[in-house]
Amino acid sequence: MIMREKRPENEVSLIIYGFKKLGEEHFAEEFFQMLQDANKAYIPDKIGMSEPIKTPFSLEQAKIMWVESERFYSSFGNIMLKGKKFRGDIIWQNDNSNIIGLHISRELAIKNNGTERLTDLAKKLFLWANGAWGYVNHSSNSMYTPGLSFRTCIGGIPWMALFGPPYVEMFGREVIETAPCKVEEFAENCFMLLTSDEPMPLTCELQETQARVKKHLGEDAFCRYDHPTRLTIEDMKAGKGRTSTEGYRSPDLSAYIKDTMKKEDAELIVDAVEDEMITKSQRTGIRKEFMAFVRKNNPEVEVVTEKNDSIVLKVEGKEIECFFDNLYKVCENTDSLEEREQIYEHFLRTLPKNKEEISLKTHGASIMPRLAPVSILDELAKLGAIPHRPFADTGLIITYVIDFPEKVMYLTNKHLAQLDIDEDSLHSLAMTNIEKTFPVEAVINVLDQKAAYTVKIMDSHDAARVLLIPKYLLKGTEVVALIPDRNTLVIASVPADGNWSKLKKLAQAASGRPLFTNPLLVSKNGFTTIQ
């Protein structure tokens, strides 16, 4: 699996890669007991097998879901967790591998002797999952290995590194024991390395310590970042279709892997999603709080219409529809009304005024494409005619927005005149902008590994990234794309047995307002809807 990170700025993650099939009910009970023993706040409020995560947690319900997930997916099982300052997922596959991912606000992770309890939890989970490699890192200390899995190389040395027997054999016991940091053998041939007293934002001093440990262990075991992580179509045609695995020193995992799943029969394995979806109740609370703030502090601003995901305000006689995606994201990790009111005030200050002009120089880099149902034309009629074009045979249209920090603004034909640009040039510019954040490695790995990749950057443009997939497919290759809502893009392999039932079910699993409920077959030539 390849994880694409888009995380809160002050979060601590515990990631473990192990080799034990965990589908039996007693494993669920053991897992949640370890979480509770470490910190009661680690027990989730809600659980689910996929987004949206909305089933209230109880141990009995968790045990049922734990076992049922494997029956549903057949080639793997998983459960996802969500709490106020905690989220996570655990997945186990038929080749005996498993991945545990827990993401905790740093405040929760370190307060009330939390560092010691987190350390103890990491060691217990590592042994429980028969861990080979694991780590705990602060969100500023990235461990992302673009296009490569831990079976080829590891991303670096973070705050805590956990090495199991395969890595002890590869590095050598004496080398690990003499690493220039705190070292503990917490079980036979299982070592923990710590580079600071607690998980903390990356500093120059911490970076130097981690570099020394990395050099001591041998830099050929760690990801090289001198290769391109964004491949152009010319790169792919030239044979640069994947990140090179040459020159890495990798552990021997053959004794751990059970070969029970043929590659051509591999079913959908959705990557761990590193973005928290805020709940409907949270959204409602933020929206109502914002409305009250407007009426109290800005009586000159009239609230015309309120919807779940937007609001129409009249400012200086002009009606402006503001979409809440970015406002929800900014408010998500705030702890006080005072913090949020500062955000609301800034949001209102940045609303476009009647005389405000937009220009390519100022706003060109923020123009993005957006997929929307054709009904959006009626919803936005008060703004005037908007430039758009059909999206294949989906019944959706491609529209265009300016992506401001706190909101998006749909472009109208009047805006095109201000920008002095035609519709074709507008489309080209929007596609160029969104391509900067397109995960090319996702397409490559889906084709190569017959797996699946979920993109949830959560900037409200995830679904629109589907428009770029054909560019990165070679002639004769196909993948499947799902865009159940505008904050989700799943890229998957075409079912080898022709059975689309599971993909169709996932296509209907919208988190928020549904966008498109059918799978799309994608080739170099474009898109075909699977009915």
Average pLDDT over residues 378-405: 87
The answer to whether 441 and 146 have CB atoms below 8 angstroms apart is yes
Domain boundaries, the chain: 19-129, 131-255, 277-355, 357-436, 439-529
The answer to whether 340 and 289 have CB atoms below 8 angstroms apart is yes
pLDDT for residue 396 is more than 50? yes
Give the separation between CA 517 and CA 524, rounded to whole angstroms: 22
pLDDT for residue 336 is more than 90? no
- Give the DSSP letter string of 6-28: ---TTEEEEEEEEE----SHHHH
pLDDT for residue 394 is more than 60? yes
Average pLDDT over residues 276-292: 65
Give the separation between CA 284 and CA 237, rounded to whole angstroms: 48
pLDDT score, position 281: 57
The answer to whether 129 and 22 have CB atoms below 8 angstroms apart is yes
The answer to whether 5 and 229 have CB atoms below 8 angstroms apart is no
pLDDT score, position 437: 82
More confident residue, 99 or 292: 99
More confident residue, 334 or 361: 361
Number of H helices, E strands in the chain: 17, 22
Average pLDDT over residues 64-91: 83
pLDDT for residue 517 is more than 60? yes
Contacts of 343 (CB under 8 A, 6+ apart): 327, 330, 331, 334, 406
| Residue 478: exposure state from Cβ atoms within 10 A (0-12, 13-18, ≥19) | middle
The answer to whether 119 and 105 have CB atoms below 8 angstroms apart is no
HSE, CB side, 13 Å, CA atoms: give it for residue 309: 15
Give the separation between CA 339 and CA 143, rounded to whole angstroms: 30
Can you point out the beta strands (E) in 316-461? 318-323, 367-373, 389-391, 396-403, 408-410, 452-455
- Report the 10 Å Cβ neighbour count for 88: 22
- Range from 30-44, 150-164, 241-255, 315-329 carrying the lowest mean pLDDT: 315-329
Average pLDDT over residues 169-197: 95
More confident residue, 460 or 501: 501
Name the range with the highest mean pLDDT among 12-21, 250-259, 349-358, 380-389: 12-21
Kind plus residue range of the DSSP H or E element containing 397: strand 396-403
Average pLDDT over residues 270-297: 60
The answer to whether 352 and 420 have CB atoms below 8 angstroms apart is no
Going by pLDDT thresholds of 50, 70 and 90, the confidence category of residue 381 is confident
- Range from 14-23, 253-262, 464-473, 493-502 carrying the lowest mean pLDDT: 253-262
pLDDT for residue 2 is more than 50? no
pLDDT score, position 273: 33
Q: Which amino acid is at 10?
A: N
More confident residue, 55 or 351: 55
pLDDT score, position 262: 36
pLDDT for residue 241 is more than 70? no
pLDDT score, position 341: 80
Contacts of 373 (CB under 8 A, 6+ apart): 395, 396, 397, 515
Average pLDDT over residues 375-385: 82
Name the range with the highest mean pLDDT among 246-260, 432-446, 450-464: 432-446
pLDDT score, position 378: 85
Instruction: List the beta bridge partners of residue 328.
Output: none
Average pLDDT over residues 160-168: 95
User: What are the strands of the beta sheet with 452-455, ordered from one edge?
Assistant: 452-455, 489-492, 478-482, 520-523, 526-529
pLDDT score, position 279: 52
Give the separation between CA 307 and CA 286, rounded to whole angstroms: 13
Specify the 3-state DSSP secondary structure of 168.
Answer: helix
Average pLDDT over residues 489-504: 88
pLDDT score, position 267: 35
- Range from 119-123, 397-401, 493-497 carrying the lowest mean pLDDT: 493-497
Give the separation between CA 122 and CA 110, rounded to whole angstroms: 14
Condensed to tens digits (0 to 9), the pLDDT of residues 36-69 reads: 999 999 999 999 887 678 899 999 999 999 988 8
pLDDT score, position 78: 85
Q: Which amino acid is at 501?
A: S
Going by pLDDT thresholds of 50, 70 and 90, the confidence category of residue 232 is very low
Going by pLDDT thresholds of 50, 70 and 90, the confidence category of residue 269 is very low
Give the separation between CA 50 and CA 485, rounded to whole angstroms: 13
Query: Which residue is it, tokens 């560092």?
Result: 115
* Mean pLDDT over each residue of the chain, to the nearest integer: 81
Contacts of 276 (CB under 8 A, 6+ apart): 8, 82, 87, 103, 332
Residues in the chain: 531
pLDDT for residue 308 is more than 70? no
pLDDT score, position 431: 92
- Give the DSSP letter string of 291-304: HHHHHHH-TTSEEE
Q: How far is CA 148 from the centre of its chain?
A: 17
pLDDT score, position 145: 65
Q: Which of 490, 526, 531, 530 is nearest to 391 (CA)?
A: 526
HSE, CB side, 13 Å, CA atoms: give it for residue 30: 11
Query: Which residue is it, tokens 């779940």?
Result: 308
pLDDT score, position 4: 37
Specify the 3-state DSSP secondary structure of 469.
Answer: helix
Q: Are strands 86-93 and 131-138 parallel, antiparallel or unpaired?
A: unpaired
Name the range with the highest mean pLDDT among 122-131, 406-415, 478-487, 490-499: 122-131
Q: Give the pTM.
A: 0.52
Average pLDDT over residues 459-487: 89
Q: Which of 345, 336, 489, 365 is nearest to 406 (CA)?
A: 345
Please, what is the Cα angle at 355 between 352 and 359, to 5 degrees?
Answer: 70
Give the separation between CA 77 and CA 93, rounded to whole angstroms: 7
Average pLDDT over residues 57-86: 84
- Range from 288-302, 398-412, 454-468 carrying the lowest mean pLDDT: 288-302
Residue 363 tokens, joined: 């706003």
- How far is it between the farthest Cα atoms of the chain? 74
Instruction: List the beta bridge partners of residue 401.
Output: 368, 410
More confident residue, 282 or 344: 344
Q: What are phi and psi of 95, to 5 degrees?
A: -90, 15
Q: Which of 51, 96, 102 is nearest to 75 (CA)?
A: 96
- Report the 10 Å Cβ neighbour count for 131: 26
More confident residue, 335 or 465: 465
pLDDT for residue 199 is more than 60? yes
Residue 121 tokens, joined: 């939890």
Going by pLDDT thresholds of 50, 70 and 90, the confidence category of residue 144 is low
